Structure 1
Amino acid sequence: MNIVVDGYNICYKTTGTGDKTVVILQGWGTDLGVYDSVAGVIDGSRYRVIQFDFPGFGGSDEPKEPWDVDGFADFFCRFMEVMQVKQATLIGHSYGGRVIIKLAARESIPFEITNIILIDSAGVLPVRTTAQKWKIRKYKILKKFLNLKLIYAMFPEVIDDWRSRQGSADYRNATPMMRQCMVKAVNEDLTELLPRIRQEVLLIWGDQDTATPIRDAHIMEEKIPNCGLAVIPGTGHFSFLEKPAQFRGIMEAYLK
């Protein structure tokens, strides 16, 4: 289904008929269908589950300007108003967790967050080794040099090939607009916002996650006042897909 929010055509779907609402906020570069298995473990007789694509994700329109995380959080508030949701449990995977942290730390929003589930959530800035810092410095120097008009005119194909191989897979696969949004997100550390979260928070994490390592989960568990951590051994950044039975058990126990 589609709905128009602030002029953006947004893909979404709902399942369940319950009188409580759960909204799933997706990870970067995914589409809402990736979270069908998450929605599937939620009791549809008790909950209505909403899945949607952020602007620039899946089948939704792309932002008209490069948004930071607050931009996506502002959009989500408008989405909830259009969907007429006044109260909800929020589930966020990866980037979706970033947006939830931003919302939960605000003084006021136009709906109530009853509780939060963060799955392999982003938001904590990674600790970079000396070697990684030097690699980034070399990249910036080389990028500045290759962007010189004279140099590019001499070796356009070589430079274009080099550019196409830089950054993460998510960055390489993104459009120019979404690349700008992504850069704004990954360079922002939300650690200082964690103590402001007033809601009960459940963290679900894969101990082999390399995108948002288990270290991030322990930082969140320590800094969020009312927080618990459930680890799914042997899983990575998509822990809910890698061991669905264990994920189902955690979710069912928590939501009951």
Structure 2
Amino acid sequence: MKMNIDNYSINYKITGHGETVVILQGWGTSMDLYDTIAGSINSHYRVIQLDFPGFGQSDEPKEPWSVDDYADFVLKFLNKLEVKEASFIGHSYGGRVIIKLASRDSLPIKINKLVLIDSAGILPKKTFKQKVRIKIFKTVNRLSRTKLAQAFFKDAIESWKSKQGSADYRNASPIMRQCLVKAVNEDLTAYLSKIKAETLLIWGDKDTATPISDAYIMEKAIPNAGLVVLKGAGHYSFLDQPYIFDRVMKSYFKIS
């Protein structure tokens, strides 16, 4: 299904009936990746899935959005669906958005439960090697904007730039790259203690994108949080350990 919000065409779908649960996706994914999560609970719940602007089949933002911009968008989206109360499930980047939402002092909707799956939000400490690489990148980037560089070395500079950064960064459009930079440079640790809703953390112990150490930080900081570690699972723990994940979800949402 499609919905128009602020002149953006947004892709979404709804399955099941009952109390509302909203699934927010990880960076650069399609909402269909999370069908198995929806399938774990939509026998008893109304599950809403959507593609964020710039993800899947939804229109890209016209300017670089911050995590707060995406949180504001989610509220507009739910308002259009007349959702007044919901639980939220977020994977990776979707977890960032949930943290920003759930930590706000006031919201137009009531949040019941939260599930954060291999969630992003903790800013890692940079190694000396990473700091050096960042400094080199910033220097080259600054020099590349000079007339001399553009005249004689434009192709070489663009080729070098295209090989820098993470796979998510390299695969993103110019606008979405700026959105990603805004996200990864913001540490959400200070927001965790403001989350009032009951929160389940689900993590793969082999996650290298958002390491298990992040899960322990969140478990300690969020007042009403519990952690389930899925052995042998990576950043997509719900896909790596589908049976155990399904049982955990059914237990948390009280589905017999």
The normalised TM-score by structure 2 is 0.96
- Counterpart residue number, 1:105: 103
Matched residue of 1:10: which SS? strand
Q: Distance in 2 between matches of 1:2 and 1:53?
A: 10
Matched residue of 1:196: which SS? coil
Instruction: Say whether 1:8 aligns with 2:16.
Output: no
CA apart distance, 1:235: 1.2
Q: Distance in 2 between matches of 1:172 and 1:129?
A: 21
Matched residue of 2:193: which SS? helix
- Counterpart residue number, 2:209: 211
Instruction: Say whether 1:223 aligns with 2:221.
Output: yes
Matched residue of 2:63: which SS? coil
CA apart distance, 1:198: 0.3
CA apart distance, 1:83: 0.9
Q: Distance in 2 between matches of 1:149 and 1:213?
A: 42
CA apart distance, 1:138: 2.1
- Counterpart residue number, 2:250: 252
Structure 1 stretches (4+) deviating beyond 4 angstroms? none
Which of 87, 90, 98 is the equivalent residue of 1:89? Answer: 87
- Counterpart residue number, 2:29: 30
Matched residue of 2:214: which SS? helix
Q: Distance in 2 between matches of 1:247 and 1:68?
A: 30
Query: What letter is aligned with 2:15?
Result: T
Matched residue of 1:204: which SS? strand
Query: What letter is aligned with 2:4?
Result: V
Aligned length: 254
Which of 61, 75, 90 is the equivalent residue of 1:63? Answer: 61
Q: Which moved more, 1:127-136 or 1:231-240?
A: 127-136
Which of 231, 234, 242 is the equivalent residue of 2:240? Answer: 242
Matched residue of 2:115: which SS? strand
CA apart distance, 1:90: 0.1
State whether residues 6 and 78 of structure 1, in contact with CA within 8 Å, keep that contact through their aligned partners in structure 2: no
Matched residue of 2:20: which SS? strand
- Counterpart residue number, 2:184: 186
CA apart distance, 1:231: 0.5
Matched residue of 2:160: which SS? helix
Q: Distance in 1 between matches of 2:223 and 2:110?
A: 18
- Counterpart residue number, 1:175: 173
Matched residue of 2:135: which SS? helix
CA apart distance, 1:80: 0.6
Q: Which runs of 5+ in 1 are unaligned?
A: none
State whether residues 98 and 122 of structure 1, in contact with CA within 8 Å, keep that contact through their aligned partners in structure 2: yes
Instruction: Say whether 1:160 aligns with 2:158.
Output: yes
Q: Percent identical across equivalent pairs?
A: 59
The normalised TM-score by structure 1 is 0.96
Q: Distance in 1 between matches of 2:193 and 2:124?
A: 19
Q: Which runs of 5+ in 2 are unaligned?
A: none
Query: What letter is aligned with 1:149?
Result: K
- Counterpart residue number, 1:145: 143
State whether residues 15 and 42 of structure 2, in contact with CA within 8 Å, keep that contact through their aligned partners in structure 1: no
1:153-201 residue CA offsets vs partner (Å, 9 max, x unmatched) = 2122221211111111111111111111111111000000100000000
Instruction: Say whether 1:48 aligns with 2:36.
Output: no
